[in-house]
Amino acid sequence: MTLSLKDIRSAQRRLRGVIRPTPIVYSDLSSRTTGLEVYLKLENLQKTGSFKIRGAYNKISCLTRKQMEKGVITASAGNHAQGLAMAAATFGTRCLVVMPEQCSITKYNATRALGAEVVLFGTSFDEAKAHALEISEDRRLTFVHAFDDPAVMAGQGTIGLELLSEPDTPETVLVPIGGGGLIAGIAAAIKESAPEIKIIGVQAANAAAAALSLKKGEPVEIPWTHTLADGIAVQAPGSQTFPLIQRYVDEVVTVDEKEIASTILFLMESEKVMAEGAGAVSLASLLHNKVSVKGRRVCALISGGNIDVNIVERIIEKGLLRDGRLMRMVVEIDDVPGSLAKLLSLLAGERGNILQIYHDRMGKEVSLEKAKVEIDLETRGSEHLKRILKLLKKQGYKTRLLT
């Protein structure tokens, strides 16, 4: 089976009333930063928190009665798992999901809450997939691939039809890419209708199988490595998605982990949008000058928002440290009454906000007449931070920044 525009339009009819046609919003700060008209397609607001319900539901709706009776199985880092679990529950069929052992806790819990049986296996998507195929054969369950399936691609391609229905159609569309199901569907929908629109795929540099495959001219398998963009961390593009990527996608670029993290923080702080790593890579490529766009109107697809709270906390903390808005320092003071109060008074005078403080006078490395004070201090930025350090030095304090 191949993927056609007719297939995508049929999927759109099946999904009518099932999914949310997600909004496209203008990003003011991104536009001012880049000099372009930047729009965000917010699939993080889709049911289950990502675009995956589109392809999963379309695939299940095409199954036979016998297949429905036995149930479905898949392998997923989490978003496809949730989409398939919800779709299976809608049709009243059993769903089993194999997820990597180090998968997102948020995605694991959400998949179980949707009624799926979850098995943890392997360290990567590909190892989980191999185990799922074994179970599929043993239990006669229908395997629903996360991306390498025409019905799944057709469901994802409905995003492309929504973009084309906009009054001001984007001239360039930036799409996250892992195995290729999302971008294959979107690119087929758009290029078959408006071939002048540029389609750019964006990958995490730590999992850039599609980018490498396009350079080689054939699917290439890479070793598995960790990435913040776990939703697109696959070792090779699909055998069915790759020809479509070659045919329809104009280019594929990569972004590194720091660029992904900073874009997640940017979206939270500036756009009030919660994006997971895979969902943020498209905008990251634009903000970090990785793409050469066509025209002025650019749409970045925010493909999902399922991110663990503990990861969000780390991203915020590291981002604030990098921007100089959070300072961690050790200050040596005299171990006499009033010394700590004097230090705190100086910091208060400079409007530094103390988040956490630890006063140590008993540590082995602390001399008898001194005390060590570890402080987490919130500042207004790098210039404010420098002014505080300059003041402390002028007052005779020995300070050391912690990273």
Amino acid symbol at 208: A
Q: Is 30 a catalytic residue?
A: no
- 136, 290, 303, 372: the catalytic one is 303
Amino acid symbol at 232: I
Residue entry with tokens 């001012």: 32
Q: Shortest CA distance to 41 belongs to which of 174, 220, 195, 189?
A: 174
Residue entry with tokens 């675009």: 51
Q: For the chain, percent helix, then strand, then coil, each to nearest 5?
A: 45, 20, 35
Task: Read off the tokens for 382.
Answer: 């790098």
Distance CA 371, CA 268 (A): 39
The set of residues, in sequence order, having a beta carbon less than 8 Å from that of 76 and lying 6+ positions away, is 84, 97, 98, 99, 111, 125, 128, 146
Distance CA 322, CA 345 (A): 26
Task: Report the phi/psi class of residue 127: left, alpha or beta, with left for phi > 0 and alpha for psi in -120 to 50.
Answer: alpha
Residue 138 has phi, psi (to 5 degrees) of -70, -40
Q: Is 303 a catalytic residue?
A: yes
Amino acid symbol at 239: S
Pairing mode, strands 142-143 and 117-120 = unpaired
Amino acid symbol at 7: D
- 41, 47, 52, 198: the catalytic one is 52
Task: Read off the tokens for 33.
Answer: 């930063």
Distance CA 323, CA 380 (A): 9
Cα–chain center distance at 377: 29
Amino acid symbol at 24: I
Chain length of the chain = 403
The set of residues, in sequence order, having a beta carbon less than 8 Å from that of 291 and lying 6+ positions away, is 172, 174, 200, 202, 251, 253, 285
DSSP string, 194-213: -TTSEEEEEEEGGG-HHHHH
Distance CA 121, CA 236 (A): 19
Cα–chain center distance at 137: 32
Question: Could you list the active site residues?
Answer: 52, 303
